[in-house]
Structure 1
Amino acid sequence: MSKSLGLSIAAARCPRCREGSLFSVSLLSYRKLSEVNKSCAVCGANFHPEPDFYYGAMYISYAFSVALMITSLTAINVLVDVPQLWMYLSTVVVLNIILLPAMLRYSKVLYLYGLSKLKYRGY
């Protein structure tokens, strides 16, 4: 039974077999925050196609941060009559700290799925 593309991305699975995990630790771990495994434990796919491959994922992570900032600032403007500067700053800082593991990981997942030559082989 093959997994869908969306479920594989959400679960951070191998792009080739959609079963092996991309990361060695869970999403809730702040240790080895976004360290990608060298290869898939199931099909042996190489997750590091070239040296420093994941540096490009910084652009996706930056886009996540900008989207988070715009969303939170808009929500504050809608929900609070007269927002104070501390409300904006504390909301953005706290949300970035809480969502940092997810943003770093999923930027690498999306980068690998989008730019690597690993294509799904429905074994």
Structure 2
Amino acid sequence: MSKISASQAIAMAKCPKCREGRLFSVSMFSYRRLSDVNKTCTVCGANFVPEPDFYYGAMYISYAFSVALVITSLTAINVLVAEPQLWMYLTTTVVLNMILLPAMLRYSKVLYLYWLGKLKYRGF
């Protein structure tokens, strides 16, 4: 029986049904198959791909992450820099998006599976 809460399971990208199996086969820092989701859970056998092209909807969550990042970075530059120039906005936005892209791609899929995957937690 897993003692992991739902928020911890989301943060660690664990199976929504048993909260023990891993959703992704490779590390977040491996850029080869960055966002490939396992087909099934290795612990409980839950299906992580309920239908073909299921994760296309996760693009909307990823887009929301990007918009939030851009708004936050632009606001931070306006607050921290007296007279910001255009290159500051562009450089900051591009660099932050490149650095956080792996996390945004992965967690958009994790959240999409938790919200719409119809897998409910069952403590064994």
TM-score surpassing 0.5?
A: yes
1:25-36 superposed matches below 5 A: 25-36=26-37
Determine if the alignment matches structure 1 residue 57 to structure 2 residue 58: yes
Offset from partner CA, 1:67-102 (integer Å, 9 cap, x none): 000000000000000001000000000000000000
* Alpha-carbon distance in structure 2 between the residues aligned to 1:110 and 1:61: 10
1:43 aligns with 44
Residue 8 of structure 1 aligns with which residue? 9
* Separation in 1, partners of 2:12, 2:62: 18
1:31, 1:63 → 2: CA distance?
Answer: 24
Map 1:66-105 → 2, pairs under 5 A: 66-105=67-106
Deviation at 1:2, TM superposition (A): 2.2
The two structures have a TM-score, normalised by structure 1, of 0.98
Alignment gaps of 5+ in structure 1? none
The aligned length equals 123
Structure 1 residue matching 2:47: 3-state secondary structure:
coil
Superposed CA RMSD: 0.6
Percent identity between the two aligned chains: 78
SS at match of 2:48: coil
1:90-121, Cα deviation, whole Å (9 max, x unpaired): 00000000000000000000000000111000
- Displaced runs of 4 or more, over 4 A: none
